[in-house]
Amino acid sequence: MAAPSKAQLLNEVYTLLKKRYKLEPRSERLTVLEAVVYGICHEGTTREQAEQALSRFRDQFFDWNEVRVSSIEEIRDTLAGQPDSEERANRLRRFLRQLFEKTYGFALDGLSKKPLKESIKSLQEYEAMGGDYVLATVIQQALGGHAMPVDEPILRGLRRLGVIDEGADAASVRSLLERAVPKNRGVEFVDLMEELTHDTCVAGPPDCFRCELKKICPTGQARLTSEKAAAKVAAKDAAKASKAPLAAPLPPPPPPPPAKSGPTKATTARATPAPQAAVPPTPPKNVAPTKSAPAKSNSSKPATPESAPQLKKTAAPPNEKSGKPPKGRSTR
């Protein structure tokens, strides 16, 4: 099957994007001067941001001459929220000063009554028209011509769609679009591409999964295919991990050595009772002491006083009534 032509591809892009995005109708045609300001504010941003900036210029300044004599800081504050606000403020003030030097005023509406080629030639004398985007915006929004403003986000989207090559510039792309897209769809096609490039086909990794053009976009097809392949590999790895046998659990650590059961020195010292002093037995009362027979000695020698055992002298208990020792007892 033959590949569709660029006109057919762009027509399919237009049909799919129109189903996805609902655009608000434009209020009215701009003047030539307002179209220049709108183009400077719109390049690289959204339609809503550009309309808000143009509305602030109308409300915060008395006329365009006041903007011309204002400082860069004041103009930059009016462009708050836009990228490169200082560079846009310089371009805008430089255009107003150049216009005032040439015409001593700010009226450019006479260009809309001239032939389109002559009006374009007059506009190209201003530095603000050095970029193709602002000139195409003036032709489309003020002069009623068929022009397709192309900025970097739209170039990015067309590259990913395979409509243009990587090194194509804005002027050649605009010429291609003006031939492939009818005039009655030109404004709407640019607005739809702008919605796409600020929603899913953004700078950096695009959100191809949500993109309405993922079925016809080669970049989206390649990304979705790679994501599906990565998901399959991850699923296989997870399945293998679930089927793999579990590793044997590690043996428990050995129990600590048992404590010694024997008592400690301190315990032994506490458990062993201290020795008590020997208490001599008390003889019974009123009982005569018996004389112990002298021990026989194995030696034939008589016992000397030194070798004889010495007895301790103990006092006899007194008599209970008289307190005198009983008869028959002698104290030693």
Residue 149: how many CB atoms within 10 A of its CB? 26
Q: Is the pLDDT of residue 297 over 80?
A: no
Mean pLDDT on 211-228:
89
**Which residues lie closer than 8 Å to 173 by C-beta, 6 or more apart?**
150, 154, 155, 158, 164
3 state SS of 21:
coil
Helices (H), the chain: 6-20, 32-42, 47-60, 64-68, 72-78, 85-103, 116-123, 132-141, 152-161, 170-180, 183-197, 218-243, 265-271
Contacts 24+ apart (CB under 8 A), 299-304: none
3 state SS of 61:
coil
Cβ(38)–Cβ(50) below 8 Å = yes
| Of the ranges 53-62, 219-228, 244-253, 285-294, the best mean pLDDT one | 53-62
User: How high is the pLDDT of residue 148?
Assistant: 94
Q: Is the pLDDT of residue 296 over 50?
A: no
Residue 189: how many CB atoms within 10 A of its CB? 22
Query: How high is the mean pLDDT of the chain?
Result: 81
* pLDDT tens-digit readout, 106-148: 988 889 899 999 999 999 999 988 889 999 999 999 999 999 9
Q: Is the pLDDT of residue 271 over 50?
A: no
User: How high is the pLDDT of residue 278?
Assistant: 53
Instruction: Please report the domains of the chain, with CATH numbers, ordered by start residue.
Output: 25-206 (1.10.340.30)
Q: What percent of the chain lies above the pLDDT cut of 70?
A: 75
- pTM passes above 0.75: no
